[in-house]
Structure 1
Amino acid sequence: MEKETATTIWRTKLRSTVEGVDHGQQVQHCLDQQIVGIGWGINEADESWTLDQVVQWADAHTTDGWGHSAAMTIRRFGEQLLVGDFVWTRDTAGRYLLCKVTGPWRFDASSAAYDVDVHQVRSVDWAPRPLNDLEVPGSVIRTFVGTGSSFSRVLPDGARLLSEYLWEVLHEREPPQLDITAKEVLTEHLDPYDVEDLIYVWMQIERGYVAFPRARARNTPAYEWSMLHRSTLRRGIVQVKTGATPVDIDELLTAADAAPTDTYAYATSANYDGDTGSLTQLITTDMLVQFAREHDEFLPARIRAWFALARA
């Protein structure tokens, strides 16, 4: 189908559950043939079958992964995935692959398709190279965690904006610039994990702390991580909140135990419960934007991309 609406971002895993299928060969088949696809081969089907025929057959059979859910996935892949949409997948080395849909659905009944279990296919252009996890939108990365549909939408709008940006950069074209400010990037568009990463880097470069990766844990709800100052040897802790959630300053101060501890806080909403004057430092959006502009060489690639999208 031709595109009439905004670009949609999708994810497919290219990890067939059919016994004997080599996932590396499955990915390579798609790259070599300039296609993206999902499974559900039908022995009696040939390449004259329509999408309706395939969906009806899938819906009528309930064994071995068939049935209504399979039929709806095939329908989604064939109808809702539009020409011009982007699809993310991964190779067997864990790298991320991005393609742009260029053609309509078709059923591939070839022997090569059966070898790798890729039968519902769309013609695509693949990006010139794979990407690593620091380049890929965080919302895309999270869709590959755990179980889920073999083909699904990536809903956050940030995934669309960054995917379009990456597509242009990977093709060595001038990327688009959005009508957003650098402050809006930080307070409205960055993924929550990216906000934490930005402050994680800021603490090390601007405030002289040494980071310990294992100290960045989810079992300390009052703060995101512990650090050690290179000169004073004081412990430093930070609470970061995104969206409308306020920082609980009293909770943070309570977590600063008997050991000499510096306390920092940042909320994208600028909402703080408690006395900000009790902190070692209240981190402001202006501080972080200035740091991002002056030290972009230290930023993870996707954070750097967001600030590149913003107007000066």
Structure 2
Amino acid sequence: MRSRRDDVDDAAAVERALRLGLVGMGEATDERAERRLDRFIAAPDGAFVWTRDGDGAAYVGRITGPWRRDEDGAAVDLVNVRDCDWVTEPVDPGLIPAAVAQTFARGGRNFQQTHPGDVEAQTQTLWLRLAS
């Protein structure tokens, strides 16, 4: 949920999303961004998502609704959104699957699938533990 715009406070976008139960991304401004948005829209309900807040703490959530525009998120470049159930507390760093930690370490700003394939099973196990 990090904006690709340098003038946007990424921490504010993540805080807004966690508070409102959203996951999202900013405006699609070129063909690559359009493809990312298409992948985001096509992700199935129940898909797991990860994000980090301004302090670097990680949160895991599950997409629970269809894509929609949220113009109220324009100030933090979070206008393409879907409902999301987030865990209420940051995930202990020792519990974050290695593939997720590696993806975070690359510092990307993209909506992307994390590999290898066992990361989904690891995340589901963690979700069941934390969401109960």
TM-score of the pair, normalised by structure 1: 0.40
Q: How far does residue 19 in structure 1 lie from its aligned partner after superposition? A: 4.2
Aligned-residue sequence identity (percent) comes to: 33
Tell me the residue number matched to 2:101.
141
**1:137, 1:158 within 8 Å by CA — same for their partners in 2?**
no
2:9 corresponds, among 19, 22, 25, to 22
The CA distance in 2 between the partners of 1:39 and 1:157, in whole Å, is 27
Tell me the residue number matched to 2:58.
96
**2:4, 2:109 within 8 Å by CA — same for their partners in 1?**
no
Q: How far does residue 72 in structure 1 lie from its aligned partner after superposition? A: 0.3
**2:24, 2:80 within 8 Å by CA — same for their partners in 1?**
yes
Tell me the residue number matched to 1:35.
22
Q: How far does residue 89 in structure 1 lie from its aligned partner after superposition? A: 0.8
* CA distances 1:263-282 after superposition (whole Å, capped 9, x unpaired): xxxxxxxxxxxxxxxxxxxx
TM-score of the pair, normalised by structure 2: 0.91
Quick check: 1:154 aligned with 2:114? Answer: yes
The CA distance in 2 between the partners of 1:122 and 1:18, in whole Å, is 20
User: Would you say how many aligned residue pairs link Structure 1 and Structure 2?
Assistant: 132
- Quick one: which amino acid aligns to residue 16 of structure 2? H
Tell me the residue number matched to 1:70.
33
- Quick one: which amino acid aligns to residue 90 of structure 1? R
The CA distance in 2 between the partners of 1:85 and 1:17, in whole Å, is 23
Matches within 5 A, 1:177-196: none
Q: How far does residue 23 in structure 1 lie from its aligned partner after superposition? A: 1.9
Tell me the residue number matched to 1:190.
none
**2:99, 2:114 within 8 Å by CA — same for their partners in 1?**
yes
Change beyond 3 A, Cα 1:149–1:91:
closer
Q: Cα RMSD (Å) of the superposition?
A: 1.5
The CA distance in 2 between the partners of 1:20 and 1:155, in whole Å, is 30
Asked which structure has the greater CA Rg, the reply is: 1
The CA distance in 1 between the partners of 2:38 and 2:127, in whole Å, is 26
Change beyond 3 A, Cα 1:139–1:21:
same
Q: How far does residue 148 in structure 1 lie from its aligned partner after superposition? A: 4.1
Q: How far does residue 149 in structure 1 lie from its aligned partner after superposition? A: 5.4
**2:52, 2:58 within 8 Å by CA — same for their partners in 1?**
yes
The CA distance in 1 between the partners of 2:126 and 2:106, in whole Å, is 25
The CA distance in 2 between the partners of 1:139 and 1:149, in whole Å, is 16
Greater relative contact order, per chain length (Cα 8 Å cut-off, separation 6+)? 2
**2:48, 2:60 within 8 Å by CA — same for their partners in 1?**
yes
- Quick one: which amino acid aligns to residue 69 of structure 2? F
Where does the alignment leave 5 or more consecutive residues of structure 2 unmatched? none
